[in-house]
Chains A and B, each alone.
Chain A
């Protein structure tokens, strides 16, 4: 089901209608659980984020003012929960990126130039490739990862992502670009080796 189009009655939720609240949980628990799993490596932590998100949603429903959609509101709670848990688990993480100027600097300039788009499609569908894709997300700095996950995995718009994270649209766009460029570098390293491996095999056969 497309959670964005979920026909949830805010009035029923506010009136404490349990059937409607269970429908709300049913519709959004999958996307929130996936987001949590992308943000945290540990499944038990992801489950904590899932539970705390809906507990907080339940407790704070009356504060929902309808300035954003219900979907953006629940993602905002979930993002805060995930970021809080990461801070708790990894206090050594440098959060200074949050304060950094959001320009594209040379750190994000591409350095990998192998064209791996030519690989056969089945190469991208293996369990190993899937693990490489998941791992690349985990390699992203937290501030980039949350933007990428909301925008490119959960499918929120730029505006919804900026509302959920209380950032400007321009900060979201810059972080999204940085995240995508970093992922491209990681995948170019991984799939580039596959291209080289295939070229070696072809050479041996000749």
Chain B
């Protein structure tokens, strides 16, 4: 596991989202990358976290469609039946 006693591993955890989202300053990124160069477990966490997020972003990019019958019931509930086929 990551070393909970290691201040660098602990502080990396708090910055992980911002780091993988590219929202950190260059200085902080450099510090993190220096740590990652010597810490295999943290490198795996960063890589697999990036992969996790990218798998969900791929799902998010799929077109979203409301099934026909659900859409029909929605329009009927909202009394928008006349606009169903627009």
Residues of A within 8 A of B (CB): 18-19, 21-22, 25-26, 29-31, 33-34, 47, 50-51, 54-55, 58, 104, 106, 108-117, 124, 130, 133, 152-155, 173, 176-177, 180-181, 183-184, 187-188
- Tell me if B13 is interfacial: C-beta within 8 Å of chain A: yes
The digit string for B13-51, where 1 denotes a CB below 8 A from any CB of A, is 110111000000000000000000000010011011111
> Which residue on B lies nearest to A103, using beta carbons?
B14
Contact A109 B70 (CB under 8 A): no
Per a CB cutoff under 8 Å, which of B1, B56, B75 touches A111? B1
Bound Cα distance from A187 to B52, whole angstroms: 7
Contact A113 B70 (CB under 8 A): no
Given A30-B66, A113-B44, A180–B17 Cβ distance below 8 Å? Answer: yes
Set of chain B residues within 8 Å of A130, measured between Cβ atoms: 59
Contact B13 A173 (CB under 8 A): no
Of the four ranges (under 10, 10 to 19, 20 to 34, 35 or more), the interface on chain B belongs to 35 or more
Contact B45 A113 (CB under 8 A): yes
> Which residue on B lies nearest to A116, using beta carbons?
B48
Top 5 closest A-B pairs, CB basis? A22-B83, A30-B64, A177-B17, A184-B52, A34-B64
Bound Cα distance from A195 to B52, whole angstroms: 15
Contact A117 B51 (CB under 8 A): yes
Bound Cα distance from A113 to B44, whole angstroms: 6
> Which residue on B lies nearest to A129, using beta carbons?
B55
Contact B13 A152 (CB under 8 A): no
Per a CB cutoff under 8 Å, which of B1, B50, B64, B66 touches A109? B1
Contact A187 B48 (CB under 8 A): yes
Set of chain B residues within 8 Å of A109, measured between Cβ atoms: 1-2, 4, 13
Set of chain A residues within 8 Å of B45, measured between Cβ atoms: 110, 113, 184
Set of chain A residues within 8 Å of B53, measured between Cβ atoms: 152, 180
Contact A29 B60 (CB under 8 A): no
> Which residue on A lies nearest to B50, using beta carbons?
A117
Set of chain A residues within 8 Å of B60, measured between Cβ atoms: 152-155
